[in-house]
Amino acid sequence: MATYTLPELPYDYAALEPVINPQIVELHHDKHHAAYVKGANDTLEQLEEARDKEAWGAINGLQKNLAFHLSGHILHSIYWHNMTGNGGGEPLAADGVGDLADAITESFGSYAGFKAQLTKASATTQGSGWGVLAYEPLSGKLIVEQVYDHQGNVGQGSVPILVFDAWEHAFYLQYKNQKVDFIEAMWQVVNWQDVAKRYAAAKERVDVLLLAP
């Protein structure tokens, strides 16, 4: 029995048009995300075999592979739900996401400042990576992270609540090499209801960082 499984999309392939066309959504979910799920499961099997045989020559590569594929699976699982065809705009109290809106203002000074920072962080990732809005439990505030590949440059313990995929497979068929145009367009499909739920859940996770016994 596989440990990880590919989640179903919460909408059909055409739901995010015109920001993301159906071909990209299908390939991205059914091929790329599926490959990360398979990679994580395959690596777990290889680690089990290494334990059984006490053969640790490949341990560094296996641990790196597990982090890569598992993080890819996790980030994509958030990514699909972070988007909706009826999304976009600014998070507002009138829409039931006032706590999130207040947290963004407190952490970044303004929504405009937050939007600019996440846009730049996503669009300027070197090579493959993500722009991430995360809840940082030590300060209780929101931070923007620039993630290389799937797992590098993150604050330990931070909880991703909004993720922008800046890998070429997320946009190239439609936006060619214009990553900036894709990231700008992404704001039109942000599902603030989903982001707000993730923020509320992250805040409720008390004592997740035990800095002292």
Q: How confident is the model at residue 153 (pLDDT cuts 50, 70, 90)?
A: confident
pLDDT value, residue 1: 73
Residue 73: partners with Cβ closer than 8 Å, 6 or more residues away:
4, 33, 36, 37, 40
pLDDT tops 90 at residue 181: yes
pLDDT tops 80 at residue 151: yes
pLDDT tops 80 at residue 208: no
The enclosing H or E element of 197 equals: helix 192-204
Distance CA 99, CA 86 (A): 21
31-50 confidence digits (pLDDT tens): 999 999 999 999 999 999 99
pLDDT tops 80 at residue 83: yes
The three-state secondary structure class of 212 is coil
Distance CA 161, CA 109 (A): 19
Distance CA 160, CA 196 (A): 12
Using a CB cutoff of 8 Å and minimum separation of 24, what contacts does 16-20 make? 16/83, 16/84, 16/85, 16/189, 17/85, 19/185, 19/186, 19/188, 19/189, 20/83, 20/171, 20/174, 20/189
Which of 27, 145, 26, 18 lies closest to 88, judged by CA?
18
What percentage of residues in the chain have a pLDDT greater than 90? 91
pLDDT value, residue 212: 66
When pLDDT is averaged across residues 70-78 and rounded to a whole number, the result is 98
pLDDT tops 80 at residue 211: no
Give 174: exposed, middle or buried? Use CB within 10 Å, 0-12, 13-18, 19+: middle
> Any idea which of 102-106, 118-122, 149-153, 175-179 has the lowest mean pLDDT?
149-153
When pLDDT is averaged across residues 132-154 and rounded to a whole number, the result is 94
pLDDT tops 80 at residue 12: yes
pLDDT tops 80 at residue 99: yes
Identity of the amino acid at 30: D
pLDDT tops 90 at residue 63: yes
Looking only at Cα atoms, what is the longest distance across the chain?
59
